[in-house]
Chains A and B, each alone.
Chain A
């Protein structure tokens, strides 16, 4: 089989080590955007560009990131940026990457210059309408970094469900009704799907853990071939939490095991943020209005699904990297 199967990284030594590198002071994602208060798209874009640097071309799929950052005649991007449509980030980037190759061969672009091509797209533009273009791009092996920011819904058009909306969430096209309690499907496992293409680098990330996230961006630009980074992104109007909880809710996603930060490097799987003791998933759910309607048995069902996923991850790792639920852990710890 040519495609790589996922297996635990052999050199894993229990504690993830972040390589130390300095982020430049220079801002390439400029202030003054129109994103909502508490939206973490800006956090992702800003750090992504700090790592990728000025020799980067950004392809933005239609969605919140695009409509909030490039309203003519203003822009928040200090790098070349293109938006073509909703479902074609992967193929537009394929064309750009191919053009860079051809133009280097013809001496139009300095062949020694390393130019990063990045797709920045939402969950809808990646997991649903843009799925085919993404898959084609990964399968053909273009050297493109695909960053999917996942706010778990079509937020730009007003909170409709997407293929990554979690079970039980209320969205406008999966509303919590008297008969159906919100979204009835589970999140599409995009990182695993990307990994199944046998590409060199896949990771999940969470902007609440910036070190982990930027390290993954760094790894992505260093591989020769496609890379895919699935980043969880909190959405104030969509998830319905107070803006001050934008990072807290993301921390809870990891602390509850709802979201596991890992990477798959050439088929080797490694959890990059071990969680020795987990919080109960209700800690993550109760902070958000989109789950408010859930009954205790539905919450317990979600907990069971997470337990099963955690078990599977521990099985792949060959040891317990995500610990059991510890009911004594408080949902929110006081912060100064």
Chain B
């Protein structure tokens, strides 16, 4: 299940190559998806997204209602209201903004509203730190949102488009979040291919309006009191819809590949076929990890890598198939699972999936810089048996566990 296998050779739609930051790539993708309501509140490092969208709206390039709300709690609330009324909606946030939205995040799920949200991932206070890691995104895992974590500007652009199509699919009707590295992706200028004709995006992801909405001609109630006799069944439907959405996520990605010439799979693997050591991670540091794999291979260590892309729903079955044969699975987490069974959230989930201990290290916390040498040294320790599974290691922390 590598991405390469999914990429068709011919590109169907005409595209042009441009350079954009991750944030501006997201804003452009959103614009091409023609949302009808955007609720926006600034927070570093996502601010350029909502600024760019405001520009599009005010220049007449995007016909949408832009609500400059007074907080993220209201950004999510307004998105819920607009989506409930039947509009395609977008909002974006990071860090404390996501925390401030929190109460409303599971409500969007329970009401089955296909809101698409971007997150330029950033760590959480305290101490206050505006830089990138995945502490914000990881808190969403239990809420019922579809969660994508992408690697670069191109994938961010492509995944926003995919997310609208998945979220609004009548088999799904769930909100979706597309997360990418704060700064390392959000602020770095990268080349990417975008469709020449914006209408192609709307042809690929037309607004379905198939979800349950407020309609004066067919009055219904959204968000009623769910007593113990009813709550569980309603919530269960949302939980099942998320589980079932995995095949829609895959299908839409494959279809996207046919149209746009790029697809990504549920996760990406690199030289994993015969690997004895697999480095598992997510986000932009995957590029460094692949470099480390090549170096280890040159030195005789049979290494491979896997980048998690869709973490909700969790592609457990597929991950087991990809990783079960690998001796040592080394997960580099970019968020702290405070006091958990493993110090990293994804390591915990990978270990539960494989039903065996995994190796786990934390890196990039609060955007502490790392380079491929540091990852190489950590992976080598795992390969040589100097690090044990089921324990806490750190990459780049002064006085940490190494």
- A residues engaging B (CB < 8 A)? 54-57, 59, 66-67, 70-73, 75, 77-85, 87-88, 90-96, 98-103, 105-106, 108, 113, 115, 132-133, 135-136, 139-140
Contacts and interface: CB of A to CB of B under 8 A. Distances in A.
A94 B76 CA distance: 11
A88 B215 CA distance: 21
A141 to B, nearest CB: 11
B70 interface: yes
B140 interface: no
Given A84-B81, A84-B107, A99-B81, A67 B225 contact: yes
B99 interface: no
B81 A108 contact: no
Contact of B67 (A57, A67, A98): A98
B79 interface: yes
B355 interface: no
A229 B67 CA distance: 23
Interface in B192-229: 209, 214-216, 218-227
A71 B87 CA distance: 27
Contact of A70 (B67, B71, B225): B225
B214 A95 contact: no
Given A66-B225, A82-B84, A95-B85, A133 B219 contact: no
29 contacts: A56-B216, A57-B85, A57-B214, A57-B216, A67-B225, A70-B221, A70-B223, A72-B230, A72-B234, A80-B219, A82-B111, A83-B221, A84-B77, A84-B81, A84-B111, A84-B223, A87-B73, A88-B104, A91-B70, A93-B81, A94-B39, A95-B67, A99-B81, A100-B85, A101-B65, A133-B73, A136-B74, A140-B67, A140-B68
Contact of B73 (A73, A88, A108, A113): A88
Interface in B149-174: none
A93 to B, nearest CB: 6
B219 A78 contact: yes
B77 to A, nearest CB: 4
Contacts of A103: 36, 85-87
B272 interface: no
Given A80-B216, A102-B87, 12 more contacts: A54-B216, A71-B225, A72-B221, A81-B222, A83-B223, A85-B104, A95-B83, A95-B85, A99-B85, A102-B65, A133-B71, A133-B74
Given A88-B74, A98-B78, A132-B74, A82 B64 contact: no
Contacts of A139: 70
Contacts of B84: 82, 92, 95-96
Contacts of B111: 82, 84
Interface residues of B, number: 46
Contact of A99 (B65, B69, B70, B74): B65
Pick the 9 closest A-B CB pairs, nearest first: A95-B81, A95-B78, A136-B70, A91-B74, A99-B85, A88-B77, A98-B65, A91-B77, A99-B87
Interface of B: 36-37, 39, 63-65, 67-71, 73-75, 77-87, 89, 103-104, 107, 111, 209, 214-216, 218-227, 230, 234
A188 B281 CA distance: 53
A305 to B, nearest CB: 32
B73 A91 contact: yes
B216 A95 contact: no
Contacts, number: 169
Contacts of A56: 216
Contacts of B71: 132-133, 136
Contacts of B216: 54-57, 79-80, 113, 115
A57 B82 CA distance: 12
A137 B359 CA distance: 50
Nearest to A116: B216
A77 B64 contact: no
A91 B222 contact: no
Contacts of B78: 91-92, 94-95, 98
Given A79-B219, A83-B224, A96 B77 contact: no
Contacts of B222: 80-83
A72 B224 contact: yes
B104 A95 contact: no
A94 B81 CA distance: 7
A106 B36 contact: yes
A103 B86 CA distance: 8
Contacts of A106: 36, 63
B68 A72 contact: no
B122 to A, nearest CB: 23
A75 B224 contact: yes
Contacts of A135: 70
A198 to B, nearest CB: 16
A88 B209 CA distance: 24
Interface centre among A66, A84, A101 (most CB of B within 10 A): A84
B37 A99 contact: yes
B97 to A, nearest CB: 14
B70 A95 contact: no
A10 B173 CA distance: 54
B232 to A, nearest CB: 12
A224 to B, nearest CB: 16
A173 to B, nearest CB: 21
A80 B65 contact: no
Nearest to A72: B224
Contact of A133 (B37, B77, B87, B234): B77
Given A84-B223, A132-B70, A132-B71, A99 B36 contact: yes
Given A72-B227, A85-B103, A96 B221 contact: no
A136 B71 CA distance: 9
Given A72-B224, A83-B223, A96 B70 contact: no
Contacts of A82: 81, 84, 111, 214, 221-223
Contact of B82 (A73, A77, A78, A99): A99
A116 B94 CA distance: 34
A95 B84 CA distance: 9
A55 B214 CA distance: 11
A277 to B, nearest CB: 44
A83 B227 CA distance: 15
Contact of B69 (A57, A73, A81, A91): A91
Interface centre among B68, B78, B111 (most CB of A within 10 A): B78
A48 to B, nearest CB: 15
A24 to B, nearest CB: 16
Nearest to B110: A84
B101 to A, nearest CB: 10
Given A82-B81, A140-B67, A99 B223 contact: no
